[in-house]
Chain A
Amino acid sequence: MIKRINHTGRRRILREHVDIAFRDEGGKPAFDAKLDLNAYGLPDSARVFVEAYRAPASWMRFDFGTKSKLLGPKDRRLHDFDSAVGVRFRVKVTSAHESHKILAEADGIPLALPGEGEEKVVPLLKPEPAPLGDLVFKVSFDGPEPTFQINDRIPNWQEAALEPIFVAITYPAVFREILVRAVIIENHTDSEDRDDWKSRWLRFAKLISGVGDAPGEDDSDDDKRRWIDDAVDAFARKIRACEKFEEARSGEKGTK
């Protein structure tokens, strides 16, 4: 596959300017969208679309009018989705004069569930149920940003994902997998771009006590691996992974 290169001058719409909130409408998932497109120098006549999608083959598109007259369709139900789980959104602004040319875009916007809408903090990773066969969990890179999938066959998978023994074992492994993808496979070094998942993870790693700046593009893979090792060690310390594991085990023994 050839690498996608953006020389087009297309603007990236920041997440803080897009709010997509879940709404239940007669048992069907629906959404409300608040878009603030004033900071991008876009022409008033630019057309605005919101797309909902989920792998492997679900996609819907909603016409939101123009930049100066943002007005979504009345029916914003996600007819093609059985549930809102795992649905992501893309906002596209296209030229009215050069038909279909993209002027600005935001991608990978999660649906804010009730109670989440007031917070501007976007979690780095939120567990999602997925049909994983015999795997308990998986980090998927199939979408625009990583997702932490938990096998949907596990009863109360949300609770399972928070159990100390699960957290102790899986979270450092997930953290490592994501950093390897960002730093080694994607060779990403910028930690300032708030809209890029790789930058957000690098910034998170830097903020953990004891971890220095992310390695540069020209650093060797060995140097990058050493930095990742340090970051994962620091993360495990921060969440007290081994202690949690021991406590969980001793708790189990105590009940036997």
Chain B
Amino acid sequence: MKLHYLTEAGLECFERYLVALRNEPLLSAPREILEDLEFATPLEGSVELHEMAFPSRMEAARFLHSVLAPISDPERNKGLWAWLSLFFFDAVCPIDGNGHRKPGELPRHVPEVGNYQRYYRHLLLGPYLIHRFFSKNPDAALSLLWQPVHKPGDIVGQLAARQELVTNFGAIEAATRLYYDPATKRERRGAQSKERGGARRLADILNQLDVTWDLYGMQATEIDALLPKEFDKFRSKAA
């Protein structure tokens, strides 16, 4: 199927479905609108898409990066991201053991493209933007990209929603060194904790350090050296 974007009618239909799904978790997704010209418009010059599963946000982001390369300003096209969510609905809203789907909040599937702090809640646009910014070394952002597509988790919520952090190579690489375990290919235990050394504390502390230090000019190791002892439990694991 060619890449499309949802029209206003398509967005309305998809949003209505997402709201209804909360109470009727067995409802089927309205995939019939994906190519219906009343609800969707094809994007010129786009490639053919096939349904596929993504093992992680990283894989989804890599795929989207290549597919969307010819399209100008894709991040501003709300209908495009909603269409992609509907097309890859099994990835962003998988069926659980009871046959139910749990869609969560609307911005996970229909992005709030005008809201800079909620952009990242979209389950495909979020990883796409992070991957694009870190395209020279996406592995440095694994703390934000290792997760399953439908479960981004608290680290993403804490770090990706703050522009001054998500656009800071050193800060995000430092977070990856602290919280991502390359051996298990997932985050270390306690990384999502709201307590000492967790991602929320990291975000708050970096926010304060930013007043004194030119964090944008620092390497991950230099930023790590500024962090207090409470992060030692993750540092020792990373060593």
User: Once the chains bind, are A56 and B119 in contact (CB under 8 Å)?
Assistant: yes
User: Once the chains bind, are B112 and A57 in contact (CB under 8 Å)?
Assistant: no
B78 part of interface (Cβ distance < 8 Å):
yes
The secondary structure that dominates the A interface is loop
Encode A25-63 as 1/0 by CB contact (under 8 A) with B: 000000000000000000000000101010111110100
User: Once the chains bind, are B216 and A56 in contact (CB under 8 Å)?
Assistant: no
User: Once the chains bind, are A100 and B163 in contact (CB under 8 Å)?
Assistant: no
A255 part of interface (Cβ distance < 8 Å):
no
Range of interface residues on B (Cβ < 8 Å)? 35 or more
Would you list which residues of chain B between 193 and 219 have a CB under 8 Å from chain A?
Answer: 203-204, 207-208, 210-218
Kindly specify which of B24-32, B58-66, B128-136, B183-191 makes contact with the partner chain. B128-136
B73 part of interface (Cβ distance < 8 Å):
yes
Complex CA distance for A100 and B115, rounded to whole angstroms: 31
Range of interface residues on A (Cβ < 8 Å)? 20 to 34
B168 — which chain A residues lie within 8 A by C-beta? Answer: 59
Would you list which residues of chain A between 166 and 219 have a CB under 8 Å from chain B?
Answer: none
Complex CA distance for A136 and B114, rounded to whole angstroms: 11
Contacts A82-B72, A92-B214, A101-B212; A133 near B112 (Cβ below 8 A): yes
Task: Say how far B46's CB is from chain A's closest CB, in angstroms.
Answer: 18
A149 part of interface (Cβ distance < 8 Å):
yes
Contacts A51-B216, A61-B217; A6 near B211 (Cβ below 8 A): yes
The secondary structure that dominates the B interface is helix
User: Once the chains bind, are B208 and A56 in contact (CB under 8 Å)?
Assistant: no
Task: Say how far A45's CB is from chain B's closest CB, in angstroms.
Answer: 15
Encode B105-122 as 1/0 by CB contact (under 8 A) with A: 000000011111101100
- Pick the contact of B78: A8, A10, A53, A133 (CB < 8 A): A133
Contacts A53-B167, A82-B72; A2 near B208 (Cβ below 8 A): yes
User: Once the chains bind, are A4 and B208 in contact (CB under 8 Å)?
Assistant: yes
User: Once the chains bind, are A132 and B116 in contact (CB under 8 Å)?
Assistant: no
User: Once the chains bind, are A61 and B216 in contact (CB under 8 Å)?
Assistant: yes
Task: Say how far B118's CB is from chain A's closest CB, in angstroms.
Answer: 9
B145 part of interface (Cβ distance < 8 Å):
no
A135 part of interface (Cβ distance < 8 Å):
yes
User: Once the chains bind, are B212 and A56 in contact (CB under 8 Å)?
Assistant: no
User: Once the chains bind, are A57 and B114 in contact (CB under 8 Å)?
Assistant: no
Interface residues of B (CB under 8 A from A): 72-73, 75-78, 112-117, 119-120, 129-130, 132-133, 163, 166-168, 203-204, 207-208, 210-218, 222
> Apart from A57-B132, A101-B212, A140-B114, what are 7 other A-B pairs with CB-CB below 8 Å?
A4-B208, A4-B210, A56-B129, A82-B72, A92-B214, A100-B213, A142-B115
